[in-house]
Amino acid sequence: MSAFTFFTEQSQRYADLQHKLRQSTDPFGLLASSFKAQQAWLRNPVALSNVLFRYVNDVTKWQNFTTRRFWGEADSDVFPPHPEDVRFSDPVWSDSPYWDGIKEWYLLNTHWLQDALYATPDMGEHERNRSAFWLRQVLNAAAPTNFLLTNPVAIARALSTNGESLVAGYKNFKEDKARGDISMTDMNAFKVGENLATTAGSVVYRGRLLEVLHYEATTPTVHSVPLVLVSPWINKYYILDMNEKKSLVKYLVDQGFSVFITSWKNPDGSMRDVSFDDYLNDGVAQIIKVAQEISGSEQVHLLGYCLGGTLAATYLAWANRKMPGKVPVVSATLLTTLTDFEYPGDIEVFLDEEGLDFIDSVMEKKGYLDGKDMAASFRMLRSNSLIWNYWVDNYLLGQTPSEFDVLYWNMDSTRMPMKMHRTYLRELYWKNKLIQPDALEIAGQKIDLGQIKQPLFMVSAEEDHIAPWRQTYTLADRSGGDVTFTLSTSGHIIGIVNPPGPTSKRSYWQGVPEAGESAEDFLARQKKVAGSWWPNWVEWLKPQCGKQVKPKLSSRAHPQQGAAPGTYVLE
């Protein structure tokens, strides 16, 4: 063996060992990214001295501020909280010099640390974003509002209730600990099939991956072309059928459409080898066949939401290549759908080899990724509002969470089968193959989104941090068919669960993107329209969904197998 070969092998072994150590001790780069930031500052002593000087100057400002406050001199905050930061909204944080000083000390350090990180020299964008993410987690957790002895509101409530709030908070904590999650809503206030997912319908197909629900018509006739809704399997389908006032399903049925929807199986360890191919063949292709057979229509309108939209877009590209001219989809609607994962939002902080290998190791043990683990990751993206807000209310204040159906659905998590989720994370998120022509093979076909010829109605949300709208917009230029793009106000859920009515607080922008037009240029051309986008979408749908026919709930080949919402959603 030559010396070169020897040292090459030793170097590779060292790299492998380093990779394994990171995977086991720091899979998501908390320590590594912080260490790199520290190294960058040490390599730039002049820049370091400047930021340290600024810190000393800020501390001096804080000392002068607190001194003036204790002498009774009115003064505005030196380090004001962000306008959307509600943690310090109680008047006591401003009225009391003592609590105002504690608040300002926390904000001084928060602002300085975050500003210093973003000013770190010689640091790549990915590492900077990752460091900033983990720093936010630490700073959010360290807020004085999160601790009893530094939260004046919690102290006052404990005194006014003679300690009963603390007893109630401890009871809430024990219940949540036993359940393994922080309650965001009253989990006893809702039940699927009773006050959630109540639109009348039947299970007309049950397979290893999904139940197909078909809803009862509420009009004398329905459009001959059925609507096939592909829900995400990261969560349960009833986000599209919350209750009579919020249900997109109910709205569509009342508009005279024949509506089918996927209710996915909640996988266990026996489904570890279920693949993305299976979700296409045994999922979306299967529900289309069921809808065709019952309705008698050769084509359907396909709708996909979130991950269901990614699958629907993949199916369209797959079908256009496999059966050109015979695709059983006349048009499609894609809701908050990512197909280009180059900039997937804050979730990218979890995406590198060590992080993906760690997730793989977790899934290898169980055969799936637990929904609670995934939900925890998404909560961390908005930890103040989705974690610490409930920590304070539930435990320090001893309050019972309010009743909110969307939050109940959010906590009703599902599992993800290992093989499918590995493909989803590595091939789509990490390698971004779906947007690249012929880079990804699914169910025996190379996938090229440019092969999609069907008209698309795309809806994204302005404040969506899960599927950033500028990334979802990419498909508008990549697709080979006509596209209508709608941008709703609000976020990933409320931007979609957006029923029309006099109390609607939402708005939207809508138009047809021009070839090669950027997301910003497209938006600049559009006028903001008050209200829900649902009615406008229905007007777009109706001409494509055929003549009026008598409704038919089931058939001999697909008889009714039980009432909606079925059984899979209860797992």
pLDDT value at position 377? 83
pLDDT value at position 156? 98
Contact 29, 352 (CB under 8 A): yes
Amino acid at 169: G
Q: What angle do CA 219, 222, 227 make, to 5 degrees?
A: 120
Question: From residue 147, how far is each of 132, 142, 321 by CA, in Å?
Answer: 23, 8, 58
Among candidate residues 344, 258, 354, the one with its CA nearest the CA of residue 301: 258
Distance CA 32, CA 29 (A): 5
Domain ranges of the chain: 3-146, 201-363+367-570
Task: For the chain of 571 residues, list the mean pLDDT of each consecutive stretch of 10.
Answer: 50 47 56 77 85 94 93 85 93 95 97 92 83 92 98 98 98 92 92 97 98 98 98 96 96 99 98 98 99 98 98 99 96 98 85 88 95 85 92 97 94 95 96 98 98 98 95 96 98 96 92 96 97 98 96 98 98 95
Distance CA 93, CA 84 (A): 16
Tell me phi and psi for residue 55, to 5 degrees: -65, -45
pLDDT value at position 11? 46
Tell me phi and psi for residue 528, to 5 degrees: -75, 130
- Please list the active-site residues: 306
Quote the crossing angle between the two packed helices 97-118 and 45-70, to the nearest 10°: 170
pLDDT value at position 54? 94
Distance CA 143, CA 154 (A): 14
What is the third-level CATH fold of 201-363+367-570? Rossmann fold (3.40.50)
Report the run of H or E that residue 510 belongs to, with start and end: strand 507-511
For the chain, give the longest Cα–Cα distance: 85
First to last CA, the chain: 59
**DSSP E strands, 4-134:** none
Per-position DSSP letters for 80-97, written without gaps between them? PPPTT--TT-STHHHH-H
Tell me phi and psi for residue 176, to 5 degrees: -70, -35
Coil vs helix vs strand at 268: coil
The neighbouring-strand residues paired with 488 are: 461, 508
pLDDT value at position 551? 98
- Spell 313-328 as b/e; 16+ CB within 10 A means b: bbbbbbbbbeeeeebb
